[in-house]
A and B are shown apart, each in its own frame.
Chain A
Amino acid sequence: MEGQTKTPPVTSRHAVLLFFTSASVLAYEILLMRLLSISFWTHFAYMVISLALLGFGTSGSFLFLLSRRVYGSMEVWLLLLAGAASLSFPLAFSLAKEIGLDPLQLVWQNTEWFKMFATYLVMAIPFLLSGGIVGIILSAAGRDVPKLYATDLLGAGFGCMAVVPALYLGPPWLLLPLLSGAMLAGAGWCCTRTAWGNKGILVLPVTGTLILACYALLPPVPRLHHTKALAMTLSFPDAKVESERHGPLGLIHVVGSSLIREVPGLSLNYGLDGKGAILPSQKIIFSDGDALSTISRFKGDLNELEHLDFTTMALPYHVRPLKKVLVVGAGGGTDVLLALKQKASSVIALESNAQVAELMTGPFAGFSGHLYSKPEVQLVIREARQFLHGTEDRFDLIQVSLLDSFGGSAAGLYSAAESYLYTTEAFRLFLSRLSDAGILAVTRWLKLPPRDSLRVFSTAMSALRAAGISHRPEEHLLLIRSWKTSTLLVSRAPFTPEEIDKATAFSDRRSFDVDYYAGIKEERANRYDVQEEAYDFNGATSLAGPESERFLRDYLFDVSPMRDDRPYFSHFFRWDKAWTLIRQLRMEFLPFVEIGYLLVIATLVQAVMAGGALILLPLLGLRRAGERAEGGLSAREVLGMLFYFGSIGFAFMFLEMALLPKYILLLAHPIYSTTVALGAVLVFAGCGSLSVRHMAGKFLWVAVACVCAWVLLQALLEERLFAWVLGWPFGGRLAVSVVMVGSLSFFLGWPFPIGLRETSIRFPSLVPWAWGINGCASVIGAVLGKMLSMSVGLRTTMLVAAVLYLFSAIAFCFTFRERTERKCD
């Protein structure tokens, strides 16, 4: 046909290049998430996924523009793209770094928006180049699309899973050359002998030399954002990095300085009694530049720990005798020291990060007084919910204290981060593992107007009711605050008047405010750290009273109870109140909403703009050229293709964005969840693509039906399944995760290759357009899926995806009706 370019045959050599390219680019995605997490914060991960898809989608546009030239010398193009992509892995990040984006200034300085967009585009380059390789091979594949698409996905899955253990070998920026090498190896196998005669081999050493030059002149070492706690601590005159560990869970630093004094919310009364204010010397453990935990020097003398008794975390010990204690997120051991100070006879210190545990039992054991080797203390390297599911022990106290850094929490940087420790289901589990007089103590950083403290309160109320304590659950709660922290006690047994007296006496002596106990009068609250309005008192009493629903509806922030289905504890943003805030406060609204969520919104805006400009616009014009070449397309076919490839793009990403956080619960950490959810999705989707090679289009309905059934079953059975599996060892949980995700992904791998194959047979000129639509939808869908998850929950996001798949199947029938009419009947 006029305008149609004849494509050279695709061989197994091309499949090898495709495999290596996909593996490298997926591994690059994970490494880029790590690099951005170190430079900035973890929720840039969604930006990275969006970037990857943007690059891939844009490559489709360019491919169509240059199709004649490309297919005329396909081997040369593949070789050059592979060389450029392998160079771009380190170079793109180095260049992006030089742009000097400061995300915290996005709201204050308009220029930062341009920098963010520029950063976004520069970091998309490796994906654009790699996407070109994938696009060329897939576009030339013809009827072999399913086989090669499977190779693409299998390679990506391999890359995703290989990179995690590799992160133990060294920091992410030193792993980039391995990816470059893999890409060049694939290119070498594929094309060096057929591009430019034998001269193609020269591309390899030239590229290698350029990569070395990049490392020498512009090394892709991440630059810590200047407000990160590590950067600020290192500016102390005697600060010294005493230890460094790298791994998939984070880049860990331990810094010592005589100027480190971390005692969160220490009472101002401490040291006023004339005995002097003694604080032990300390070191801080950082993870990706954020303060994680503090290690205090301990020489065995409990008298040196007096200061810990002047924090709100000490409250539970003054209310009841507590001997058996579970410390969640033990880290550097502050809460463990507190427990020992308070004469606990058994302390289980839970720490989910094995590297932190290794530091505390290794190089810093002596400094910390061999804390985790003491006979009363048992260190367990496990995530809290998994541990509690696997034990029948009962504890007098479960202590959950300040698991976020203050700076990050105050800025709202954790709003897009999942946490399964502060949900109704988690609190209910904690309550079930308490002794009859046991207490759950949850401490958070104070904010004004209050958010964290009220959400903990509402979640605790919800958990008490779920645990069957529906008669006056408010009698099981006690809330106090210092000038910087708030601590909520949740008890299985109601607090007695004597215990309340002890709590108030403890608080009065330290000038802490008691904000809630059952029956508290207003004059009792807000005495020492006087708020203009008794915000915490008012909020807590409202939540405990009959007007709680009204309070939750009307409060400026979302402080409703958290559930596992929407585990975004630090997400307090309400769209219905946001405009009020912005209209009232203009730029002053910034401290009161979360930068984390604003960054997700900013990424969505960029994704829409970039996707529209780089993918859709060029292809709109090209679509007309393709239509002329195809002898005209009907509106039905055009809309049908748009809807089909668009909806499967959105639906796939919605499912992926819901799966990633969901499996954090089973696998304990986002990096494992990302690797498994992403890797298993890719590998099994690849297998699914392979299986449809010889299937007619009508089998699309089978895939859609299976996806919908999976989503419905997950919605109905997930809670019970997760509860059953949570106590299993990591290997078992991993296997279950792979089976669950894999069984869905197998069928997710059908719609795209089926659609692309039908398009390549019926409308071959429009293959890049279809590829581009899908890419654009995926780019936007990645970020939109994240926002949906945060707003309406993971289950609803997955249901929306299932509905989109249903619509896509209908669109498929209408679009490819002539060919498939017989088959859809």
Chain B
Amino acid sequence: MRRRSTILFSLLLALGLVLDASAKDPAETEFRLLRERMVKEQISDAPDYRDSVKDPRVLRAMRTVPRHLFVEKKLQSAAYGDFPLPIGYGQTISQPYIVALMTEMLEVKPDHKVLEVGAGSGYQAAVLSLLVKEVYTIEIIEALARQAEERIEHLQYATVRVRVGDGYYGWEEAAPFDRIIVTCAASLVPPPLVKQLKPGGKMCIPVGAAYSVQYLTMVEKSETGTITMRKSIPVRFVPLTRSGNEE
């Protein structure tokens, strides 16, 4: 009898602690709901001018990573909006849809090793870390790199390594990579990165001005080392030469 009472009391105590914990974290609940809505409305059931992202692993990662923790406090309420946000030094955290789209286009697998050039806020690296074996991310601006590193450590994305450095030379010690993503604006694709891409590997380069991606360039290296590129626009235009009255 006494033993039963002790167990019951312990269970009630545990339940109370759990309830208490969630009562203390209504903001987190709200952000989680915002994240769910973000995935549903912007990504998986995207508006008809977008190709919805369907990869369940990618969607799960987008639901899991707390995007609001990768922006300044004053912008957290806007973190799940359908737009990019500034993170300082002329950089932005990409629109959620673009992050999901690029992740899906990379077709990452659980045993992949991924290099990201331009860590920025660390958000893309965090998303990738839930999908692949290892993520290496480089950022030239030390302040940004340190911030990204702190966030990633705090959130315990242990498979992400952050380095302050010149992304032009990639990460030679860890090369070759199955996938590379180049998020910093560059006028050229660094030849060392092309070399560090494994045969059969893919590289994704978003191209456009600050706050807006105009097109995505996918670089693919065949098993024999031949390079091909694909371009895609992240939205679907009406036929470009449709007459105005054909709506």
Chain A residues within 8 Å of B, Cβ to Cβ: 102, 104-105, 108-109, 226-228, 231-232, 235-237, 258-259, 261-266, 268-272, 277, 406-408, 410-413, 447-449, 483-484, 511, 528-532, 535, 542, 551, 553-556, 576-577, 580, 584-588, 590-592
Could you give, for residues 210-247 of chain B, a 1 whenever the CB lies within 8 Å of some chain A CB and a 0 otherwise? 11111101010000010111111111011011111001
CA distance A412 to B49 in the complex (A): 22
- Closest A residue by C-beta to B233: A448
CA distance A530 to B166 in the complex (A): 29
Across the interface, which residues of A come within 8 angstroms of B238, CB to CB?
556, 580, 584
Judged by a CB distance under 8 angstroms, whether B83 is at the interface is yes
Across the interface, which residues of B come within 8 angstroms of A102, CB to CB?
86
- Distance in Å: Cβ of B9 to nearest Cβ of chain A: 52
Pick the residue among A232, A407, A530 that contacts B230 (CB under 8 A). Answer: A530
Across the interface, which residues of A come within 8 angstroms of B191, CB to CB?
266, 268, 270-272, 277
Interface residues in B174-229 by Cβ distance below 8 A to A read 185-192, 194-195, 207-215, 217, 219, 225, 227-229
Interface residues in B113-153 by Cβ distance below 8 A to A read 140-142
Pick the residue among B188, B195, B215, B229 that contacts A448 (CB under 8 A). Answer: B215
Judged by a CB distance under 8 angstroms, whether B82 is at the interface is yes
| Given A264-B188, A576-B244: A585 in contact with B49 (beta carbons within 8 A) | yes
Chain B residues within 8 Å of A, Cβ to Cβ: 47, 49-50, 78, 81-84, 86, 88-90, 140-142, 166, 168, 185-192, 194-195, 207-215, 217, 219, 225, 227-235, 237-238, 240-244, 247
CA distance A511 to B78 in the complex (A): 42
Across the interface, which residues of A come within 8 angstroms of B228, CB to CB?
511, 528, 530
Across the interface, which residues of A come within 8 angstroms of B241, CB to CB?
542, 551, 554-556
| A268 close to B84 (CB less than 8 A) | no
| A108 close to B211 (CB less than 8 A) | yes
| A226 close to B192 (CB less than 8 A) | no
| B227 close to A272 (CB less than 8 A) | yes
20 further interface pairs, Cβ-Cβ under 8 Å (given A259-B166, A271-B191)? A109-B83, A226-B86, A227-B210, A235-B89, A237-B140, A237-B142, A262-B188, A265-B187, A269-B227, A271-B194, A411-B209, A483-B229, A484-B207, A528-B229, A529-B229, A531-B231, A554-B241, A556-B240, A591-B209, A591-B214
Residue pairs across A and B with Cβ atoms less than 8 A apart, 26 shown, are A226-B88, A231-B89, A232-B90, A235-B140, A236-B141, A261-B187, A261-B188, A268-B191, A268-B219, A268-B229, A269-B227, A277-B192, A410-B207, A411-B212, A447-B215, A483-B229, A528-B228, A529-B229, A530-B228, A530-B231, A554-B241, A556-B238, A580-B238, A584-B49, A586-B49, A588-B50
CA distance A248 to B92 in the complex (A): 33
Across the interface, which residues of B come within 8 angstroms of A109, CB to CB?
78, 83
Across the interface, which residues of B come within 8 angstroms of A591, CB to CB?
208-209, 212-214
| B240 close to A529 (CB less than 8 A) | no
- Closest B residue by C-beta to A447: B214
| B247 close to A580 (CB less than 8 A) | yes
CA distance A584 to B82 in the complex (A): 15
Across the interface, which residues of B come within 8 angstroms of A484, CB to CB?
187-188, 207
- Distance in Å: Cβ of B194 to nearest Cβ of chain A: 6
| Given A226-B90, A261-B168, A584-B49: A448 in contact with B187 (beta carbons within 8 A) | no
- Distance in Å: Cβ of B139 to nearest Cβ of chain A: 11
Across the interface, which residues of B come within 8 angstroms of A529, CB to CB?
217, 229-231
CA distance A584 to B219 in the complex (A): 29
- Closest B residue by C-beta to A485: B187
| A554 close to B242 (CB less than 8 A) | yes
CA distance A263 to B190 in the complex (A): 10
Across the interface, which residues of B come within 8 angstroms of A270, CB to CB?
191
CA distance A413 to B211 in the complex (A): 13
| B90 close to A272 (CB less than 8 A) | no
CA distance A262 to B240 in the complex (A): 32
Query: Closest 9 A-B residue pairs measured CB to CB?
Result: A277-B191, A411-B209, A271-B191, A591-B212, A227-B210, A266-B188, A410-B209, A448-B215, A108-B83
| Given A261-B168, A448-B215, A532-B232: A555 in contact with B188 (beta carbons within 8 A) | no
> Main secondary structure on chain B at its contact with chain A?
loop
| B231 close to A108 (CB less than 8 A) | no
- Distance in Å: Cβ of B168 to nearest Cβ of chain A: 6
| A228 close to B90 (CB less than 8 A) | yes
- Distance in Å: Cβ of A585 to nearest Cβ of chain B: 5
Pick the residue among B47, B215, B244 that contacts A580 (CB under 8 A). Answer: B244
CA distance A484 to B241 in the complex (A): 23
Across the interface, which residues of A come within 8 angstroms of B192, CB to CB?
277
| B244 close to A577 (CB less than 8 A) | yes
Pick the residue among A237, A272, A577 that contacts B195 (CB under 8 A). Answer: A272
| B237 close to A584 (CB less than 8 A) | yes
Across the interface, which residues of A come within 8 angstroms of B141, CB to CB?
235-236
Pick the residue among A227, A236, A528 that contacts B140 (CB under 8 A). Answer: A236
| B237 close to A587 (CB less than 8 A) | no
Across the interface, which residues of A come within 8 angstroms of B84, CB to CB?
108
Across the interface, which residues of B come within 8 angstroms of A528, CB to CB?
228-229
| B231 close to A448 (CB less than 8 A) | yes
Across the interface, which residues of B come within 8 angstroms of A235, CB to CB?
89-90, 140-141
| B90 close to A227 (CB less than 8 A) | yes
- Closest A residue by C-beta to B168: A261
| B210 close to A407 (CB less than 8 A) | yes
| B214 close to A406 (CB less than 8 A) | no
Across the interface, which residues of B come within 8 angstroms of A553, CB to CB?
243
CA distance A258 to B140 in the complex (A): 12
- Distance in Å: Cβ of A231 to nearest Cβ of chain B: 6
Across the interface, which residues of B come within 8 angstroms of A542, CB to CB?
241
- Closest B residue by C-beta to A236: B140
- Closest B residue by C-beta to A532: B232
| Given A226-B88, A235-B141, A555-B241: A448 in contact with B211 (beta carbons within 8 A) | no
Across the interface, which residues of A come within 8 angstroms of B185, CB to CB?
232, 406-407
| Given A449-B237, A483-B217, A585-B235: A226 in contact with B89 (beta carbons within 8 A) | yes
CA distance A226 to B242 in the complex (A): 38
- Distance in Å: Cβ of A64 to nearest Cβ of chain B: 43
- Distance in Å: Cβ of A234 to nearest Cβ of chain B: 9
- Closest A residue by C-beta to B229: A529
CA distance A253 to B238 in the complex (A): 43
CA distance A299 to B210 in the complex (A): 35
CA distance A171 to B1 in the complex (A): 88
CA distance A529 to B217 in the complex (A): 8
Across the interface, which residues of B come within 8 angstroms of A408, CB to CB?
209
| B188 close to A265 (CB less than 8 A) | yes
CA distance A96 to B112 in the complex (A): 50
- Closest A residue by C-beta to B243: A554
Across the interface, which residues of A come within 8 angstroms of B217, CB to CB?
483, 529
CA distance A170 to B136 in the complex (A): 47
CA distance A236 to B143 in the complex (A): 11
Pick the residue among A262, A511, A577 that contacts B229 (CB under 8 A). Answer: A511
CA distance A288 to B186 in the complex (A): 20
CA distance A109 to B83 in the complex (A): 9
CA distance A407 to B207 in the complex (A): 10
| B90 close to A231 (CB less than 8 A) | yes
CA distance A532 to B237 in the complex (A): 12
- Distance in Å: Cβ of B145 to nearest Cβ of chain A: 11
| B190 close to A588 (CB less than 8 A) | no
| B89 close to A592 (CB less than 8 A) | no
- Closest B residue by C-beta to A269: B227
| A532 close to B233 (CB less than 8 A) | yes
| Given A263-B188, A268-B189, A448-B233: A105 in contact with B194 (beta carbons within 8 A) | no
- Closest A residue by C-beta to B85: A108
CA distance A237 to B212 in the complex (A): 26
Across the interface, which residues of B come within 8 angstroms of A590, CB to CB?
211-212
| B86 close to A268 (CB less than 8 A) | no
| A411 close to B207 (CB less than 8 A) | no
Across the interface, which residues of A come within 8 angstroms of B195, CB to CB?
271-272
| Given A407-B210, A528-B229: A588 in contact with B244 (beta carbons within 8 A) | no
